[in-house]
Structure 1
């Protein structure tokens, strides 16, 4: 890691970062949650994971020290390290009438809507508290319901897990993810407040790094497939070729997921085809192999 993130950091006159206290391989030092605004009632962006007393204590201390309350919560996307702690925040820290805003996700919202009310938002909606107005930008790819939040007063962007302060991103759909990266570039913000890692002060350069890395990985995948002269490879075989066995076992799953997302993109572009080897016990365990699509004779 390039820097140590304290539990609480005043990043600007209207932004306080509170670390989610949930470090891990994919959360880095933990999930960044942000309190925004300058008045007596402020908004919290993301809530970390459930059942993390250390995080709740940090929030309580900030609220008490600065003399404000939390009247709104904005969730960037459905992943548990961003929405999981919402129930705890509502119970122990936020105002009784605090509203929770989120883009709709019919698959995952029922996990939380039984415990608190969700106020669904759309692309280009705005949420406002005193001293902070955020415009919501739908940026799918990492997750279908992912939002990036543009803070008008600062020309800054809360990028969620679309762009991190360090490291790379796992995504659900590479094509839409690349489109979302282009959206973020077009906003031309002065800085990014990411879902994990330190503040990004050179957003365009950081996004270009992400795009270049994805295109470099795609070239490696295509090269690996081209070496077998019409044969097939599994996604894990491609991982072992393209990563040169340099990954620790704990990161192999994430690497294979990203490789499969690249392969799905190449399939959509009609550049790769698949072979499905059925499993006699369970159809869902069928092995899928990939090769470059042969041109028509």
Structure 2
């Protein structure tokens, strides 16, 4: 059972977590958003989903009770559960864009659904009272994904690159593995994920993610090797590899398997015949 996450948590003197109040099988307890800093003007990481008045109310209470103004809003990536609440926050809280800068990396694969944001630069550093944050481009989950390194606490805010429970989906496996290795090199003491609870064993979790992806690849090859000449759909591979998987997560698993197969196809290890995949005997 997933751990309970309070709607508002004062994680440290410089970090407040506000739950997006949008739980689902894909968002776990909901989207985690974070307010960073100790002074009047602070940073908000992610904005939750669209139309969640309960979330906007909780955020408003935090800002009012601590007399906070938002200097910057950082968007980790374009997915609706991270950017959808932006319009509600700006309109309902009366935030003026000239006073609060909205930042994001651009999507490289399609038109961006977020309008009027400023562009991050990889490695860009932001400073507000009590918080120095360095931004890193970490594509893989999406082409525009970013993580945020809070230098004072050596903490990484990982968006959907790393989750508090389970593993994440991705659009590009090669890029995703590179991004995981980048975070590993930062050697954070703690990771604050976009979904799920705080990760207090970052190195172990990152190594697990990396080995898990290799394990999945090995499992795909093993199934295909044992059935040389036989074709498998992605769904058939999921059923053969994932045990005890909820039906709600089958499509997400097929998505991940497809990306492993695309990588293996580039490496010449598998063959694609229509919707079927086979081991390439070379």
User: Shorter-chain TM-score: what band?
Assistant: over 0.9
User: 1:94 deviation in Å?
Assistant: 5.8
Once the two structures are overlaid, the 10-residue window that deviates more, 176-185 or 123-132, is 123-132
Matches within 5 A, 1:194-273: 194-244=193-243, 246-273=244-271
Task: Show the counterpart of 2:103.
Answer: 101
> What is the count of residue pairs matched by the alignment?
280
* Cα pair distance change 1:170/1:124, threshold 3 Å: same
CA–CA distance in structure 1, aligned partners of residues 2 and 235 of structure 2: 29
CA–CA distance in structure 1, aligned partners of residues 277 and 228 of structure 2: 12
Once the two structures are overlaid, the 10-residue window that deviates more, 231-240 or 29-38, is 231-240
User: 1:238 deviation in Å?
Assistant: 0.7
**Does 1:152 find its partner at 2:151?**
yes
Contact 2:78 2:114 in 1 (8 A): no
Matches within 5 A, 1:1-297: 1-93=1-93, 95-96=95-96, 97-108=99-110, 110-113=112-115, 117-244=116-243, 246-276=244-274, 288-295=275-282
CA–CA distance in structure 1, aligned partners of residues 79 and 249 of structure 2: 18
Query: Secondary structure in 2 aligned to 1:140?
Result: coil
Give me the TM-score of the superposition, normalised by structure 1: 0.91
Contact 2:78 2:112 in 1 (8 A): no
Contact 1:71 1:95 in 2 (8 A): no
CA–CA distance in structure 2, aligned partners of residues 88 and 174 of structure 1: 33
User: 1:108 deviation in Å?
Assistant: 4.9
CA–CA distance in structure 1, aligned partners of residues 34 and 110 of structure 2: 23
CA–CA distance in structure 2, aligned partners of residues 193 and 236 of structure 1: 32
Contact 1:125 1:136 in 2 (8 A): yes
Query: Secondary structure in 2 aligned to 1:233?
Result: coil
Contact 2:106 2:112 in 1 (8 A): no
Provide Cα deviations, 1:84-106, integer angstroms capped at 9, x if missing partner: 11111111226313110000115
CA–CA distance in structure 2, aligned partners of residues 222 and 93 of structure 1: 52
CA–CA distance in structure 2, aligned partners of residues 241 and 290 of structure 1: 14
Query: Secondary structure in 1 aligned to 2:273?
Result: strand
Unaligned segments of structure 2, at least 5 residues: none
Once the two structures are overlaid, the 10-residue window that deviates more, 86-95 or 141-150, is 86-95
Q: Alpha carbon RMSD of aligned pairs, Å?
A: 1.3
Give me the TM-score of the superposition, normalised by structure 2: 0.96
Provide Cα deviations, 1:24-53, integer angstroms capped at 9, x if missing partner: 001000000000011111110000000000
CA–CA distance in structure 2, aligned partners of residues 147 and 2 of structure 1: 25
User: 1:121 deviation in Å?
Assistant: 1.0
CA–CA distance in structure 1, aligned partners of residues 249 and 152 of structure 2: 39
Unaligned segments of structure 1, at least 5 residues: 277-287
CA–CA distance in structure 1, aligned partners of residues 208 and 194 of structure 2: 17
Task: Show the counterpart of 1:283.
Answer: none
CA–CA distance in structure 1, aligned partners of residues 86 and 134 of structure 2: 21
